Structure 1
Amino acid sequence: MPETSHCDFEPSRREPLPVPYLSTPPTAPIVLRPGRQLFVDDALIEFSSCSRRWHQAQPYAGNPVLKPETPHELCGGECPVAAPFSDGVWYDPQDGLYKLFYHAGWFHGTALATSSDGIHWQRPELGVVGNSNLLLPIRDNYERDGALVWLDQHAKNADERWKMFIYNRYQNGAGGELLASPDGYRWQYRCPCGPCGDNSSFYYDPFQQRWIFSIRVGFPGTGRARAYLAREDFFAPPWHDVRLDQGAGGDDMTPIAWARCDQHDHFEEATQFQPQLYDLNATPYESVMLGLFAVFHGPENNHCEILGCPKRIDLHPAFSRDGFHWSRCESRQPLLACSRQRGRWDRGYLHAAGGCCLVYKDKIRLYYGAWSGQSTLAPGQKGSSSRAAFAMYAGAATGFAELRRDGFASMHTDSEALIHTRCLVPGDRPYLFVNDAAEALRVEVLDENNRVIPGYAIADALPFRGDSCATPIHWREHQTMPSLPHCKLRLTIESGDIYSFWFSEYSDGRSGGYLAAGSPDYNSDRDN
């Protein structure tokens, strides 16, 4: 974990962003955080003859699960919207409910829907705006833009268990505000934030114990991008202007250049548009920070207005082990892509919900908003429901996609292959588990000098054959790991995939890792 953050790249260029812990791996044994150890990079791998495969989330067949129905959402047909514009989808163990915070009508309201299963949603009457499910009053001459909601299960003040950032446009300008709520239903405005652009957002990094503000900025030459601000107090005084120069140092009052697209992000021939980073949401998942990069492939706003089509945005996975640098899929395969097809509910403009994903049994669910462009407005025609009422912002609904738990990437082989880890410090966690689907998988244990520990050789390993998201690893004479301060693992896999491994305190495989936006299978934000 870096002690300080500074901009260590040139914002105006398009070379890949640095990831120091991958380019210069540590030589000392690696102390593992609790949680599943994902194979999304080579941080823990010394050698492997497997190939890394990236996997895409599969949209739910019944999508959309929430679509515009109420007068506030329908906007007279001009810009119907009932979708997270970031906002958030969380499982709240206090209520035993999924809570979906969403944009109701374009540039109009902020609403709440609840569900017992994450599929069928109800709109509670909250009494804030008539008998609707709007959470916040409609203020004269204010139009809401992006927002994000976070469930803080460890809030010291019970009235701040839920936190919100919301970006408003008003008569003489625009800006962000911070709000708090004890239950997600009743909200209070607390303070303004610092300078930021629309679609700015935030999240909590429990490894740094900091609130991270993901601030929308523009880099010269590369367009839409992100600046970084980390602070202990979510409601601290407004921050200062962003510093975009290479080498600039940041603190809790000074945002710095952070993330952008690069030369590996695919140039789309149909739009002739150089990709830009439209949004960066993140969440703690198991032992890493999971990021969802919203990569914008065009067309630009003025062209979308004329064409009456939504902007093309796909969601790409990214991962950070130090809280600042991000590694991404080498091929830039998206985790979830918009359909780009006229008449489809998910034609474009995908926005990941705040919290990014939830754990449901052996799956991950990623909730998102998508725009179809279906409107009573003709292409190029401006409506009266808001200052940005064009068909490009119409027809938004909510859906979700599913992925195997830990299934962002796997180490794959069609025959027999090895994975040899770096020297690891597992801590006081004697049980070893893997998430795999293979004809056979065996694990042997070595010391720091690559000598096999007696009783833990490959000949002693009991093979696992099959498909399981939590496979216990055993040896002929041992059910637990040897009692060593540090060790290496050599995994032998036959025809299949391995997604993760972890050390557990418990024989049932509880990882102690983070569960992103929660899970109905757990009573906290961790697998413990």
Structure 2
Amino acid sequence: MKKFFLVLGGLLTINIAFAQDKIGLDQFLGQTLHNGITLPLQWPPIYEIPTRREEMPVPYLEKKPEVISVNTGRQLFVDNFLISKTNLYTVFHTPHFYENNPVLEPSEEWENTIEGAPYAAPFSDGIWFDDKDCKFKMWYLAGAGSIHKDEKQTFYTCYAESLDGKYWKKVTQDVVPGTNIVDTCNRDAATVWLDREEKDPSKRWKFFNVELRNTDKRWQIVLKYSPDGIHWSKGVAQSGDVSDRTTVFYNPFIKKWVISMRYWTNISNRSRAYIEHSDPEMVVSLTHRIRSDAFDKNMRFWFIPDDKEVRHEKYPTVEPGIYNFDAIAYESIMLGYYSAWAGPDNTTCEKDGIQKRNVISLGYSRDGFHFSRPTHEPFMNVNETEGAWNWGNMQSICGVPIIVGDSLYFYSSGRRLNNIMWDSYTSTGLATLRRDGFASMRTGEKEGFLVTEKLTFDGKYLFVNADVKKGSLAIEVLDEQRNPIVGYTRKDCIVIKKKNSTRMLISWKGKDTLSALLGKNIHLKFYLTNGDLYSFWISPWKSGESRGFTSGGGPGLDAMGIDKPRECY
């Protein structure tokens, strides 16, 4: 009997039963990730382009691993992956915009275009904390009119830095003397990435620039390297033709560079395509526009705007799109930033003298390809009032969040209403969120509970991020059959009361570690009253570092981008 199988989106379907021989599932399975998720052998997965708007499937939520490893990072309740049973309810949180926004805005002559339109904000680009000199560093798109008036060049790349992430300086450099310009290529979107795993110091900073090719005025990605983020090499790799608003991110869980490329489908010309490779030069060289009548093993259709995208109340007939998608590792997950476009189109914007509406919403992934979007509401929203720095067209920025103590620093670009050029006047704003504060499990005065799925661990100390300043929290450890383990029962637990902290050590009578349970699979049962539970993790250190990824870094964090004991110096 003929053998026929289809691997689609990580789910294996065998369409014909085999009469004479059996095929073990193991041969169709690939890499097992830090959390117990096993990828399919066909990776990245191949999906047909949907014929209607629908959400991306998330296979690991439909069929979870039998045992979930919690050795890497804080474990966040952004989906139901960790949860076996609960009567708590989920609350999604948004950051608070800094009262003195914008933190960076156009102020220099060279930040204007030929027409005088001002620009001073990352178009993805990057904002990172550099542990080498303990500075926040920003790369951003700026106008090029005052420098190349005769060449009609539109945009350059500029640099700024800060000691606290709030007050930024445009530091003069020697690339274009007297300015803070660090790259003079005519550009669209760009990605500046601090590669903390890079062993060659001359390649520590990577610049994936979507540049305009002089010969035919088409966009292509050009990769450059730098030891300091200021002085960039000549291009070391170039892509084929790409669409505008194409960016790059690194997935450290599978150690792959990923191109997030704008892609045209019948559903929307603001869909996305995906390509990955372990070599940053190769991922660029293999990238190009996709033909609908040809297959390319390196390129993948990724996702479309779905049926839950938020529509513009003034333009309800406009079909929303995904203007851009950036991503970064945070703790045990990948954060995905959707620049969600709701219209109107450019012609209407120009006629009415307004900005298009792009807001930033979030998605969460545990494999780097499939992203769950539990809410489509804006994470960082526009402010359509006169004079607001972010009246419209907000765009995500690579490198964020930056971890500053108990807070996460998020940055975004925004555009003011102006009479110079409708789609201009970009500035950069800051918003702050509690560490791990994307979602919490909440209950009121009546006690609630949450039981995790089966967990495996190799740490010692159990920590939680919780707000019970008006309530209480206790944790019980259960065995594989969900029976309380002697010495780790609820009655043994030292109850946390009237406390609010992003890092609280859990202990039981006579025990402050889980060392006696090493090598065993367990469940955790949380008992919560009048509070919020944000995350938990099991650390090897009593100081509570999680071994998770720290995104854009932060003061006092490890230089390799992993949360482990170390001070900035």
Q: TM-score scaled to structure 1, two decimals?
A: 0.92
Deviations 1:331-359 (A, max 9, x none): x2211111133421110111111113111
Work out which of the residue numbers 86, 102, 112 in structure 2 matches 1:48. Answer: 86
Change (3 A) 1:474 1:250: farther
Work out which of the residue numbers 455, 477, 480 in structure 2 matches 1:424. Answer: 455
Distance in 1 (CA, whole Å) between partners of 2:369 and 2:528 is: 33
Q: Where does residue 467 of structure 1 map in the other structure?
A: 500
| Residue aligned with 1:263, SS | coil
Distance in 1 (CA, whole Å) between partners of 2:422 and 2:95 is: 25
Whether 1:220 aligns to 2:258 is: no
Change (3 A) 1:161 1:490: same
Kindly name which structure, 1 or 2, has the bigger radius of gyration based on alpha carbons.
Answer: 2
Q: Where does residue 61 of structure 2 map in the other structure?
A: 22
Q: Where does residue 286 of structure 1 map in the other structure?
A: 331
Distance in 2 (CA, whole Å) between partners of 1:132 and 1:319 is: 39
Note the C-alpha offset of 1:461.
0.9
Note the C-alpha offset of 1:258.
0.9
Work out which of the residue numbers 173, 183, 192 in structure 2 matches 1:126. Answer: 173
Note the C-alpha offset of 1:76.
6.4
| Residue aligned with 1:304, SS | helix
Distance in 1 (CA, whole Å) between partners of 2:536 and 2:240 is: 41
Q: Where does residue 203 of structure 2 map in the other structure?
A: 160
Give yes or no for contact 2:463–2:537 (8 Å, CA) kept in 1.
Answer: yes
Note the C-alpha offset of 1:250.
7.2
Q: Where does residue 366 of structure 1 map in the other structure?
A: 410
Note the C-alpha offset of 1:203.
0.8
Deviations 1:114-161 (A, max 9, x none): 1111111112221211311100135xxxx3111110000111221110
Q: Where does residue 517 of structure 2 map in the other structure?
A: 483
Q: Where does residue 412 of structure 1 map in the other structure?
A: 442
Give yes or no for contact 2:310–2:377 (8 Å, CA) kept in 1.
Answer: no
Distance in 1 (CA, whole Å) between partners of 2:510 and 2:291 is: 58
Give yes or no for contact 2:275–2:287 (8 Å, CA) kept in 1.
Answer: no
Distance in 2 (CA, whole Å) between partners of 1:65 and 1:351 is: 15
Whether 1:312 aligns to 2:341 is: no
Change (3 A) 1:364 1:9: farther
Distance in 2 (CA, whole Å) between partners of 1:424 and 1:392 is: 53
Q: Where does residue 267 of structure 1 map in the other structure?
A: 311
| Residue aligned with 1:219, SS | coil
Amino acid in the other structure paired with 1:365:
Y
Amino acid in the other structure paired with 2:344:
P
Give yes or no for contact 2:242–2:287 (8 Å, CA) kept in 1.
Answer: no
State the identity as a percent. 34
Moved more, 356-365 or 264-273: 264-273
Distance in 2 (CA, whole Å) between partners of 1:269 and 1:119 is: 33
Work out which of the residue numbers 340, 348, 357 in structure 2 matches 1:295. Answer: 340
Note the C-alpha offset of 1:108.
1.5
Amino acid in the other structure paired with 2:57:
P
Distance in 2 (CA, whole Å) between partners of 1:521 and 1:393 is: 39
Give yes or no for contact 1:9–1:18 (8 Å, CA) kept in 2.
Answer: no
Note the C-alpha offset of 1:477.
2.1
Note the C-alpha offset of 1:249.
8.6
| Residue aligned with 2:557, SS | coil
Note the C-alpha offset of 1:72.
1.0
Deviations 1:17-44 (A, max 9, x none): 1000011222x21122411000000111
Distance in 1 (CA, whole Å) between partners of 2:262 and 2:168 is: 31
Change (3 A) 1:249 1:410: farther
Amino acid in the other structure paired with 1:146:
A
Q: Where does residue 31 of structure 2 map in the other structure?
A: none
Give yes or no for contact 1:11–1:219 (8 Å, CA) kept in 2.
Answer: no
Work out which of the residue numbers 88, 93, 102 in structure 1 matches 2:140. Answer: 102
| Residue aligned with 2:390, SS | coil
Q: Where does residue 93 of structure 1 map in the other structure?
A: 131
Q: Where does residue 81 of structure 1 map in the other structure?
A: 119
Please list every run of 5 or more consecutive structure 1 residues that lacks an aligned counterpart in the other structure. 378-390
Give yes or no for contact 1:9–1:17 (8 Å, CA) kept in 2.
Answer: no
Runs of 4+ in 1 over 6 A off after TM superposition: none
Distance in 1 (CA, whole Å) between partners of 2:287 and 2:172 is: 39
Whether 1:357 aligns to 2:401 is: yes
Query: Relative contact order (alpha carbons < 8 A, sep ≥ 6): 1 or 2 greater?
Result: 1
| Residue aligned with 2:530, SS | strand
Amino acid in the other structure paired with 2:211:
N
Amino acid in the other structure paired with 1:320:
S
| Residue aligned with 1:135, SS | strand
Distance in 1 (CA, whole Å) between partners of 2:178 and 2:197 is: 32
Q: Where does residue 383 of structure 1 map in the other structure?
A: none
Note the C-alpha offset of 1:395.
1.2
Report how many aligned residue pairs link the two structures.
504
Give yes or no for contact 2:89–2:443 (8 Å, CA) kept in 1.
Answer: yes
Over aligned residues, Cα RMSD in angstroms? 1.8
Give yes or no for contact 2:120–2:427 (8 Å, CA) kept in 1.
Answer: yes
| Residue aligned with 2:285, SS | coil
Deviations 1:458-483 (A, max 9, x none): 11111112101001011112111132
| Residue aligned with 1:110, SS | strand
